[in-house]
Amino acid sequence: MNKLGKWIFILFGAGLFLSGIVQFVIIPKQDAAAEQYENEQKHPLTHDLDYIIRYKNDYMGNASNTTQLFYHLPHGETVKDFELNSDDLEVIVHYANSVKNIGTVKVQQNLVYNSTAAFALIANLEKITYHFRDETFSIDRKAVEKLYGGLGNLIENKDIWNKRVRDPLADKNVIKERFSLFD
């Protein structure tokens, strides 16, 4: 084998080796990280504001935007359908599950988080009603604004959001206190 043939063989082997590294090490790590991030978006304590900030909108009447926001909030995978009541500026979210099956504390935690996010991101949304198979809960913007002293400042950056909205929901007493605003 001549010198050129050896170099071609070496370069071909190196290319195969590097291709194997990419295919069997780098890509699986990236896929695992992406899957982990997606799973974290299903829980209020690990949910990322950046995951939903693109749904910020002045009008709840933008049906596609509003429904996509709720699908991207915790527990969004169990949303069955929506109703938009434009007369009352209300979103009605129907879930395919019951509170009993999910767990009361988990439902309360999700609804407090989801309501805060929805009111902070959709400027003219005034009321949200959540229908589960066995229970219904409602909350209005005024109650959430009173809790946080306004909503616009919450989404200025992730640190504010996490400190004031997300992280306190690790405490069951905070969940209970904030959920008391619901009807």
Query: What does the pLDDT look like over 77-117, one tens digit per residue?
Result: 888 888 998 889 999 999 999 999 999 999 999 999 999 99
Q: Which residues of the chain are under the pLDDT cut of 70? A: 1, 28, 31, 33-34, 37, 39
Is 32 in the same domain as 57? Answer: no
Q: Around 19, how many Cα atoms within 13 Å sit in the side-chain half-sphere?
A: 6
Distance of CA 33 to the CA centre of its chain: 17
Alpha-carbon distance of 174 to 21, in angstroms, equals 47
Q: For residue 114, count other CB atoms closer than 10 A to its CB.
A: 23
Is 72 in the same domain as 18? Answer: no
| Residue 38: per-residue pLDDT | 72
Q: Print the domain residue range for 104.
A: 49-179
Q: For residue 168, count CB atoms less than 10 angstroms from its CB and return exposed for 0-12, middle for 13-18, buried for 19 or more.
A: middle
Bridge partner residues of 136 (DSSP): 131
Is 90 in the same domain as 11? Answer: no
Is 96 in the same domain as 170? Answer: yes
Q: What is the largest CA-CA distance in the chain?
A: 84
| Residue 98: per-residue pLDDT | 92
CB 57 within 8 Å of CB 121: yes
Name the nearest CA neighbour of 128 among 84, 169, 166.
84
| Residue 23: per-residue pLDDT | 80
